[in-house]
Amino acid sequence: MVYETCEAIIAEYMEEGIDCPTTPDGWKKVANGFTDRWNFHNTISAIDGKHIAMHAPGKCGSYYYKYKGFHSTVLLAMVDSDYKFIYVDVGANGATSDAGIFLNTDLRNAQEDNRIGLSPRDPLPGDDRSIPYFVVGDEAFGLKDWQTLPSPRFDQ
């Protein structure tokens, strides 16, 4: 029931609620938001997954079982600087990691193949060397030229 409900919500509200850029100007607008609001340059989104606890569907075995001891389905989302969704993937089983889910998305394949309309590189403010635009994610995601990790926290 959760999966069908999520699909119905996506079908109904996708066009008005999720705005994924497809042009260099659209991505630069998102990057400008990260620069203006967070002083984080050349960033096109932040990505993370959220495990949503649920009762296991019948006869699914451990398919939805998360290693933390409960069954779940995963919401993987990319957001802009104002926390607005620009990409969402819902319904992966809880046994799958965030990075594993992202590896199988159309958006990730488009990023790898340079088909998402992203400008390849631009210089940081006050510099003449160009760097790629990138996505910020936590340690669950690997490093790529278009994906970085935040600095480690020293208060832990």
Q: What is the pLDDT of residues 7-27, one digit of tens each?
A: 888 787 767 777 889 899 999
- Taking all residues of the chain, what is their mean pLDDT, rounded to a whole number? 82
pLDDT over 50 at 6, yes or no: yes
Please indicate, yes or no, if residue 76 is contained in any of the structural domains.
yes
Please indicate, yes or no, if residue 155 is contained in any of the structural domains.
no
pLDDT band at 145 (very low <50, low <70, confident <90, very high): low
pLDDT over 60 at 31, yes or no: yes
pLDDT over 90 at 81, yes or no: yes
Q: What is the pLDDT of residues 43-79, one digit of tens each?
A: 999 999 888 888 877 777 777 777 778 888 888 999 9
pLDDT band at 153 (very low <50, low <70, confident <90, very high): very low
Please indicate, yes or no, if residue 152 is contained in any of the structural domains.
no
Q: How many CA atoms lie within 13 A of 43 on its CB side?
A: 22
The total of structural domains in the chain comes to 1
**Rounded Cα–Cα distance for residues 92 and 45 (Å):** 21
Please indicate, yes or no, if residue 6 is contained in any of the structural domains.
yes
Q: What is the pLDDT of residues 82-95, one digit of tens each?
A: 999 998 888 888 88
Residues spanned by the domain of 139: 2-147
**Rounded Cα–Cα distance for residues 53 and 64 (Å):** 10
Please indicate, yes or no, if residue 156 is contained in any of the structural domains.
no
Helix (H, G, I), strand (E, B) or coil at 148: strand
**Rounded Cα–Cα distance for residues 76 and 41 (Å):** 23
In this prediction, residues 106-118 reach a mean pLDDT of 82
Q: What pLDDT, on the 0 to 100 scale, is given for residue 61? A: 76
pLDDT over 50 at 154, yes or no: no
Maximum alpha-carbon separation in the chain:
59
Cβ contact 149:138 at 8 Å: yes
Q: What pLDDT, on the 0 to 100 scale, is given for residue 147? A: 58
Please indicate, yes or no, if residue 153 is contained in any of the structural domains.
no
**pTM score:** 0.76
pLDDT over 60 at 152, yes or no: no
